[in-house]
Amino acid sequence: GAVVSQHPSRVICKSGTSVKIECRSLDFQATTMFWYRQFPKKSLMLMATSNEGSKATYEQGVEKDKFLINHASLTLSTLTVTSAHPEDSSFYICSARDSSGDYNEQFFGPGTRLTVL
Amino acid sequence: GQNIDQPTEMTATEGAIVQINCTYQTSGFNGLFWYQQHAGEAPTFLSYNVLDGLEEKGRFSSFLSRSKGYSYLLLKELQMKDSASYLCAVLDSNYQLIWGAGTKLIIKP
């Protein structure tokens, strides 16, 4: 099946710093990638939809200036958490849609656990 | 609004069968997915239904009734490694995935 990588898998940073998370589709081209956030024992919460070559579409309540998304190529999207605070600590997961597939399946990266001290 | 309902938690015995139900109300329907998620890991794809009926894949089967807005995931011959959360998600008219909160399945020996 299609593989999506995410880097880093874990990051610990100080409050006020910025953190960049990369999401790559390794063996397929993804015109659309999704960024999710998941709190413990909760379901996935869609933060934004990232389209290659255009601006990301953010969900209601998600600050686009705080969570910067760049989808510069068909295989790479990045999420930058700017001026991180402890409340930004969470599990961030990206997924990529294989538009050539039969049913628009989303393939998930392994996730990034962010801890802001 | 859009809504996906599934039980919060279920318990079953190793070797037994368990059925996890999911009901949905969404703006449009382009298919229903089941994902498995172990603690601390990303979801992995289990099944996809877009037509009514039962899809069988090894020990796992998934059923869909579009008229009832209902699906279930059936797990047979349960193994301890099946202990995980099972997420139901519907692809709406905008091809956006709407997620249920997940069902935590606990398998006991």
Whether residue A98 is predicted with pLDDT greater than 90 in this model: the reply is no
Q: Give the model's pLDDT for residue A44.
A: 84
Does residue B100 sit at the A interface (CB-CB below 8 Å)? yes
Whether residue A27 is predicted with pLDDT greater than 70 in this model: the reply is yes
pLDDT band at B41 (very low <50, low <70, confident <90, very high): confident
Does residue B39 sit at the A interface (CB-CB below 8 Å)? no
For residues A31 and A59, the model is more confident at: A59
pLDDT band at A3 (very low <50, low <70, confident <90, very high): confident
With residues binned 3-state (H G I as helix, E B as strand, rest as coil), the percentages for chain A, rounded to 5, are: 5, 50, 45
Shortest Cα–Cα distance, B17 to chain A (Å): 24
Does residue B99 sit at the A interface (CB-CB below 8 Å)? yes
pLDDT band at A102 (very low <50, low <70, confident <90, very high): low
Residue A107 has a CB neighbour count (10 Å cut-off) of 24
Q: Under a CB-based contact definition with an 8 Å cutoff, are residues A55 and A48 in contact?
A: no
Task: Give the DSSP letter of residue B105.
Answer: E
Q: Give the model's pLDDT for residue A93.
A: 93
Whether residue A99 is predicted with pLDDT greater than 90 in this model: the reply is no
pLDDT band at B38 (very low <50, low <70, confident <90, very high): very high
Chain mean pLDDT for chain A: 89
Q: Which of A34, A42, A105 sits opposite B101 (nearest CB)?
A: A42
Residue contact B44–A108, C-beta within 8 A: yes
Q: Which of A43, A44, A103 sits opposite B50 (nearest CB)?
A: A103
Whether residue B13 is predicted with pLDDT greater than 70 in this model: the reply is yes
Q: Under a CB-based contact definition with an 8 Å cutoff, are residues B94 and B2 in contact?
A: no
Contacting B residues, span 57-96, partner chain A, CB-CB under 8 Å: 87, 91, 95-96
Which residues pair with residue A81 across a beta bridge?
A19, A67
**Across residues A33-48, what is the average pLDDT?**
87
pLDDT band at A104 (very low <50, low <70, confident <90, very high): low
Q: Write the Ramachandran bin of B28: left for phi over 0, alpha for psi from -120 to 50, otherwise beta.
A: left
- Provide the token pair at A117: 């001290």
Between chain A and chain B, how many beta carbons pairs sit less than 8 Å apart? 45
Q: Which residue in chain B has the smallest CA separation from A113? A: B40
Lowest mean pLDDT among A21-25, A31-35, B10-14: A31-35
For residues B94 and A45, the model is more confident at: A45
Shortest Cα–Cα distance, B93 to chain A (Å): 13
Residue contact B97–A46, C-beta within 8 A: yes
Q: Give the model's pLDDT for residue A49.
A: 92
Q: Who's near B23: CB < 8 A, 6+ residues apart?
A: B4, B5, B6, B68, B69, B70, B71
Lowest mean pLDDT among A13-17, A32-36, A104-108: A104-108
Q: For residue range B42-96, list pLDDT tens digits in order.
A: 888 899 899 999 999 899 999 999 999 999 999 999 999 999 999 999 988 877 7
